[in-house]
Structure 1
Amino acid sequence: MGIQDIIEGKRQWRAHVARVKALPPDYQIVYKEMQRYFFKVGPVELHDGTLLSGILDFFEEGVTEGKGVLELTGDDVAAFCDDLIKDSRTYAEIYQESIGGTA
């Protein structure tokens, strides 16, 4: 990864954060909680950027359609998050496998 890749990555992340800040406050709160949850759980796909970008696209569509954020996610946001990554490997699973445990 070269310096240009790092700069481009930062540019993309700043644009992503600007999109989040443009959401209504209730959407921002739920998005940030989901992001925190995913960073904690550690799905491997998180680092390619598609998971968070996809959620942001989904939320922007909800705003456009005039829906509340909980209409999109349901009342149990953690269950919604779990459902999104149910088929994904997590870093915790990879770690367990590396030390000889089973996931």
Structure 2
Amino acid sequence: MTIQDIIEGKKEWRAHVARVKALPQDYQIVYKEIQKYLFKVGPAQLTEGTALLSGIVDLFEEGATLGKGVLEVTGSNVAAFCDDLIKDSVTDHKTK
């Protein structure tokens, strides 16, 4: 990874964070909880996780544009929503 890659990655992350901050408050709250959850048990490959987070923002932006509440988009069980998103991904999470 070069310095240029790091700089580019930071620019992309800042743009991603700006998109999240532009969402309605309820969407931001749920997004942050999803992000925490995915950072704990989500895809092991960072690039896969980043694409996943961007996809969630896309979904949330669409839901907000349509005037839907965030739980109309995710369903009432947000953890199950997350699990469904990562069910086919390789994770670092170990089951007992």
TM value normalised by structure 1: 0.86
* Identity fraction in percent: 72
Query: What SS does structure 2 have at the residue aligned with 1:44?
Result: coil
Query: Moved runs in structure 1, 4+ residues, more than 4 A?
Result: none
**Which residues of structure 1 form unaligned runs of 5+?**
97-102
Does residue 52 in structure 1 map to residue 58 in structure 2? no
How many Å apart are 1:87 and its aligned residue?
Answer: 1.1
Greater RCO (CA < 8 Å, at least 6 residues apart): 2
Does residue 62 in structure 1 map to residue 51 in structure 2? no
Aligned residues: 94
How many Å apart are 1:83 and its aligned residue?
Answer: 0.6
TM value normalised by structure 2: 0.92
CA distance in 1, matches of 2:2, 2:54: 23
Kept after mapping to 1: 8 A contact 2:40/2:93? no
Matching residue of 1:29: 29
Matching residue of 1:76: 77
Kept after mapping to 1: 8 A contact 2:42/2:86? no
CA distance in 2, matches of 1:27, 1:37: 15
**Which residues of structure 2 form unaligned runs of 5+?**
none
CA distance in 1, matches of 2:13, 2:60: 17
CA distance in 2, matches of 1:64, 1:85: 25
AA aligned to 1:15 is A
